[in-house]
Amino acid sequence: MEYARLTMVDTRPTTLPAGYLLRNFRHVADWVLALYPDLLCEADMAFHRQFQALSEPAQHLYLRLLTRTRPLIAVESLSYAEVPNVTSTLDELQQAGFAELNPQVDAAQLLELQTRSRLQQWFAQNSRSSAKKTELVESILAQHSAADIHNIIARHQPFTRALRQDCFDRLLLLFFGNGRQDLSEFIITELGHVRYEQYRIDGSTRYFQSRADVETLQRYLQVREQLEDPAILSDSIRLRECHALLPDHRQQPELQRRFDRIVLIIARQLERLQATDNALALYQQVATHPARERRARILAKQQQPQLALQLCRQILDDSHHPEELEFAEQFARTLARKTGTHFALAPAPAVREFTLELPFTGAAVEIVAAQALSDAQHVCVYVENLLFCGLFGLLFWDIIFAPIPGAFFHPFQRGPKHLHTEFFYPDRKTLIESRLEEMATPGWQQRIWDHFESRSGIANTLVAWEALSPELIDMALQHIPASHLHTIFRQLALHPGLYGSGFPDLIRFSHNGYELIEVKAPNDRLQPNQRRWFRHFADAGIPARLLNVTWIDADDE
């Protein structure tokens, strides 16, 4: 099945056609119904059928309710050209089971929805007018019953809430494959704020394979949302209840990644609440770093250094994650020292360092250092990850957006599925390897310039256009040997998500070469991912140093 893009205007329109919200939702629903008829439950089908049976104003209004950030909405605030009569339209939504008027809800939320002055007015709170709104809400909650609060607010300021949000969310989830994007993508694109690559969308390889996949992912997203609630974060019982809600990932990489991330959050929070044994048990279910690091740290804290050491040995034996390995080496050294165990390990390679005294102006240390290291012979730029990720993204642009089956499934992607995981490389191995080989032939840089020209401004997670001036690219290509770029690009290609971070802050060009410099203000140390790149730079002969800045107090001297 071929995906048909909505036709969008070429130039930036100042206004959009009336009813754009409904048009966009219909586009989403049509595509999902065509692609996933077997993954929709009866509730989903009924939802769509009954939605279509609504009058157009009612359809518009329902979508408006759902695109608000908070579930409770003051009826007064509903004012749209597409909905001439809000009251009767809301009534239609109620009758059809798409909205409810003045539902019984938490009194605090209801009060929070109102303005401060109205609360004072309605609840005759003559108390200090300087009281903060949250204090005002507290005092009203203390003085009035929930039923009174509900009645008073419903009388002065009727409110509504959309129903069947789960069906709506599921439709969007089936379309986007994530819980982060929504209908606003259509507007953003149409207004020209973001330009997406025009890759081909292949409906023959679906993002979701079964209904269980959809429900599992939806549940994961719900639990992750619950984990933002401070009341849950501070209660180990409720945290474990959250964990129990998580369906099994059934060894599916995409689901496992999300499962692991959530369990890591829960377990870490259990640690903070001193529920150490519960945390340990949860970490054991997680395959993703830093689960084993946390387990080792817990074991060490529980006076079980031998078990901790054993776990470190296991990591050193079977891990492919550079930061996990780095941790295991270092932690094993500490443990061995403490327990008197012999533990043979080569010491970590030393990092070359130098020091500068700079005036403290309040500006970011990287900016100040870059200026201090710039002069007539040197150009020093604060680039962090942006330069190398950007050059990689430009050189491999066509490979990144190559129509690998399943890689592209909706029109608003800044990269293929799995771009940030270890699955990126194997699916594109031959393409990537031959592109890397090209770097041995003169003029290989032309491909970077070609993509820089032809794809300029198009969204790509690896390419931060505003940070990549032609001058910077030119200096980089002139001063950095191809062999150096080659080894960096190879690492990036193997796992763009992992290796795309930890690059030094600065690059400093001089007449005959270049140098990478990581700036450290007092109280800052090399982080594990930065250490990992330094190690790689040392192996590859790439010049990199650590700059320790000490501040000169402007008042002192």
Nearer to DNA, 16 or 101 (CB): 16
User: If binding is defined by CB under 5 A, does position 519 make contact with Mn ion?
Assistant: yes
Query: Of 489, 506, 508, 547, nearest to 351 (Cα)?
Result: 547
Interface pick for DNA out of 104, 134, 210, 483 (rule CB under 7 A): 134
- For strands 513-520 and 544-552, give the pairing: parallel
Interface with DNA in residues 484-543 (CB under 7 A): 497, 500-503, 505, 518-521, 523-525, 527, 529-530
Q: Least distance (Å) from DNA to the CB of residue 72?
A: 9
CA distance 285 to 230: 24
**Rg (the chain; Cα; Å):** 28
User: If binding is defined by CB under 7 A, does position 80 make contact with DNA?
Assistant: yes
User: If binding is defined by CB under 7 A, does position 198 make contact with DNA?
Assistant: no
User: If binding is defined by CB under 5 A, does position 380 make contact with Mn ion?
Assistant: no
Interface with DNA in residues 443-482 (CB under 7 A): 464, 466
User: If binding is defined by CB under 7 A, does position 338 make contact with DNA?
Assistant: yes
> At CA 202, angle to CA 198 and CA 206, rounded to 5?
130
CA distance 234 to 229: 9
Judge contact between 257 and 288, C-beta under 8 A: yes
User: If binding is defined by CB under 7 A, does position 395 make contact with DNA?
Assistant: no
Judge contact between 77 and 198, C-beta under 8 A: no
Helices 42-53 and 56-67: crossing angle, nearest 10°?
Answer: 130
Alpha carbon distances (Å) from 518 to 67, 143, 382, 421: 43, 58, 10, 26
User: If binding is defined by CB under 7 A, does position 90 make contact with DNA?
Assistant: no
Nearer to Mn ion, 271 or 384 (CB): 384
Query: Of 316, 288, 314, 283, nearest to 298 (Cα)?
Result: 283
Nearer to Mn ion, 327 or 533 (CB): 533
Q: Which residue in this structure is represented by tokens 């819980």?
A: 179
Helices 165-176 and 42-53: crossing angle, nearest 10°?
Answer: 100
Interface with DNA in residues 9-28 (CB under 7 A): 15-16, 20-21
DSSP 551: E
Q: Which of DNA, Mn ion, none does residue 261 bind (CB under 5 to 8 Å by kind)?
A: DNA
DSSP 343: -
Nearer to DNA, 255 or 444 (CB): 255
Chain residues that interact with Mn ion, rule: CB under 5 A = 505, 519
Chain residues that interact with DNA, rule: CB under 7 A = 15-16, 20-21, 64, 67-70, 73, 77, 79-81, 114-117, 132-134, 178-181, 184, 187-188, 191, 193-194, 221, 224, 261, 268, 272, 297, 330-331, 334, 337-338, 364-366, 384-385, 464, 466, 497, 500-503, 505, 518-521, 523-525, 527, 529-530
